[in-house]
Structures are given as C-alpha cells and as structure tokens.
Structure 1
Amino acid sequence: MAIPPRAPPRQRVVFTRIGVRRGFVASIPLWIGMLPFGVVIGVLSAAKGLSFAETMLMTTIVFAGAAQLVALELWTDPAPILAATIATLVVNIRMAPMGAALAPWLDRLRGWKLWGTLATLVDHSFAMAVADQRAGGRDAGYLLGIGLGIWISWVATVALGHLGGGMLRVPPGHPLFFASIAAFLSILVPLWRGARVDGLPWLVAGLVALAAHRAALPVPLPLLLGSFAGAGLGAWIELRGRGMPGWK
C-alpha cells in the first residue's frame, strides 16, 4: 500500500526587531500620502470645536482616518454617540477579513506583539504585509513596523492640521487631497498577481461604491456596499478555484 506524501511543513513565523525596522523603513514613502488626509482631519477637528488635546487623544487611540472622518462629519453638540459608533463600526468592519487574511502571522503572535500589531493595523500595512507574505516573508515584525511608522506620521500630520487650521485654506477638490488615495492605490499594485480576474473585485467594488455615491446614499453606505460587492465577487472567484477559462 502506497504511503501518501507528506505535506510540506509550514515555514516558521518569527517576530524580530530587524523585521520591525524593515517595516518602519518601508512605511516612510507613505508618509507623504498621509500628509493631506491627516491635515484635513486636523483642520476639521478644529472647525468642529475639538481642542488640540481632544484631537490628539482621538487620533492616537482611534488611529483610523476613515472612522475619524465619518465621526467628525456627524459631530454636533451634543455628540451623537450612538450614530457615530454605528457609522464607524460599519466603516471598520473591513478589518475582520483583513485579520483573517493575515492569520498565518497573527495566529502565531501572543501578548503585546499581537495586540500592538492589531492596534496599528490599517489598510496600507495590510496590503504591504500580504504582498510580503506572498513573496515568502515570515517575519511578522514587518507588519508592526509598518503600522508604527504610519501611526507616527498620522499623529504628526493631524497635529499639524489642527495647529495650522486657521492658516490653511485649501479649496475643495484641490489635487493635494488626492495624494492619500494615490498612495493607497500604489500599494495595491504588488497585490495583483498577473491574472486579469484579480482586478475584477477591485473594479466591482469601486463601481458599486461610485453608483451608491451618485445615488446620494448617506455615508458610509457607499463604502459598505462597495466592500461587500467586491468581497463577495472575490470569494466567489476563490470558491470556483480560479480555474475559469479565458481569464488568465
């Protein structure tokens, strides 16, 4: 009776200071893209009446640009705590599948390494970590290093925006506001593995979100609908085994 071959052993995941430093250095080019978005959050916080200390507390703890923007757009006096909580929950629900995708690293971390990594996980660090995983990377410190670098730049840019809010007068639609979007789009490139079908979930997510926005659906429904549409298509493609003829 033939003995089936053993599955190749998984590479052991490590967490090193070298990996953290490598991730931190890799995050530096993204700081320029974070600048306009962070400044806008700082300016909006000042316009909503938040003090510098309140803005910094929110920024350092929440560390989620989209969630902060949604909360600030809903901010009134008295603050709508329940509405803001639900809106930010909807915006950040995308973190659940991100954590699942990073399970090969996260499942092997414990204590401050795990919680520190989760606390600093953002879209940029997720995309770069997935690309590193696919390239054979096994140092989970890389993910934390990226998150720490982006966190530092985020806190600094929001502080700059709040302090200079009275002097900054950038009109709506200025190209400066596209910098953060361009930075995020650039880090999506390594995630594309060459098959045309890989881009379909991204395209569908964008089209659905744009259609919902054009239909004047309130924030954050366009983001939520686009995310679910793209994720649903991506899951369907994966379940089909990605063996669809004519797509590669």
Structure 2
Amino acid sequence: MNVVTVKTKEEMSATASKLIVDKLRQKPELVLGVATGGTPIGTYEEFVDRVKQEELDVSSMRTVNLDEYVGLPRDHEESYWHYIYTHLYKPLKLPVENAFVPDGLSRDLEAECNRYEEAIESLGGVDLQLLGVGRNGHIGFNEPGTPMDSRTHVVELTESTRQANARFFNDIEEVPTQAITVGISTIMKSRSILLLASGQEKCAAVEALLDGKVDIEWPVTILNGHPDVTLIVTEDAYCSDKEDDHA
C-alpha cells in the first residue's frame, strides 16, 4: 500500500485529482469508480479544473457509482446520480450515458443489483476506484459485519448512517432507509484503488487499515489484500505511530 500523508484536505484533493488525471492520460477510456459524500467533492473540483486547464479529452471516460439511495428519483437533489452529474458531468459537459448508477426506483431491487454487476463487467471492470471511508470503517454503504465476498446488494441503512446523512436533507425522516451499494468483493476487483481519509474522526479507521490485518468489523481493512492501493490521508487522520513503510 502506498501511503501519502498530506497536511490539509485541499492538498489531499489536489494530489488525488492529479493521480486520476495521470490514469486518464494512460487510458482515455478510463472506467472510474466514483464515491459520493463530502470527502471527494474537492477532488472532483480539482479534477474538473485540471481537465479544463489542460484541455484533456474526457469524452471516452465512463464512471461507475458506488451506491444510490432506494426510493429517490434521479432528479432529486440528494440522489447520487444528481451528485455525480452536478460535480462531474455538468461542469465537464460529459455525455450522461457514460454515467453508470444503480436504479434506486427499480421495482425488483435484487434484479437491479444483478444488472448493475453485469453492467460493470460489460465495461471491462473498474480501472480506478475512488473511495472514502466512514468513521466506523465502512466503504460504500458496506457497514461493519458485511461479508467480504459481497457483491452489489441492497442495504438497510443504520441509524448512525442516516443521522450522518441527515444534514443533506430537511429532516431525518426524509433520509432513505435503504440503498443499493457495490459490494466489497466487487470493489476488490478494481485494478487500482484510491482511498481518501481526512479529519480526526477517521483516525480509528485509518489505524485499523494500517494495522495490516483484515477484520470484518472494519470493512476498509479488506484493502490490505489488494495489490494496488494508494491511501491519501491528512495528518489529523493519520494517527498511527508507524512510519510510512506500508508501500
């Protein structure tokens, strides 16, 4: 694992965006796995700026969302389809057919999960998966205890997750109770993984990861078994007393 320690969240975003741009130069038809939430917003902003400044052609890039709420239409401002459209597709004027997002309105959610797995496979898999990590070590909506061999599946959102996401809604009652999320084994099939962690509240999750052991109660630790992971972590989230010898 390549561990890159930075001082600020802004530096984390700039470093991550450069890595994505480098991958895009190597492969213009890059399949990018995209995370949502607050952590990667700065990365998307930096990426958009770099693409515009360097006049890069991103028209062949495809994106694969990690997750989507069940019950929210695409045009809902808190849907994750709307999120990636707002932060990536709209500013870069990308063709929306290049955005792959689970259908949270599907009448058959199990079939939708299978369809989404097949869609990822039809793209040839994810080249670079961008991830954030929850304070309890969750990746995507894969909470502690999620089987490490899980594929795309429907999850019941925990009360703590709904509380954490309530800030994006008018009231916690508006926060969906379910979501579709890419499973842990599907994440592990990505050719490269870029994990972002910032803030003191992520300290325990980062420590668990850098301990080097795989623990089902800390889903992020599964990344210890992946051959190509880069962790970009701010100093306030990097609480381990170990040296950066995890590469």
TM-score range, shorter chain: under 0.3
| Larger RCO: 1 or 2 (CA < 8 Å, sep 6+) | 1
Compute the TM-score of the two structures, normalised by the length of structure 2: 0.25
**Structure with greater strand percent:** 2
Higher helix share: 1
Look at both structures and tell me which one has the larger radius of gyration over its CA atoms. Answer: 1
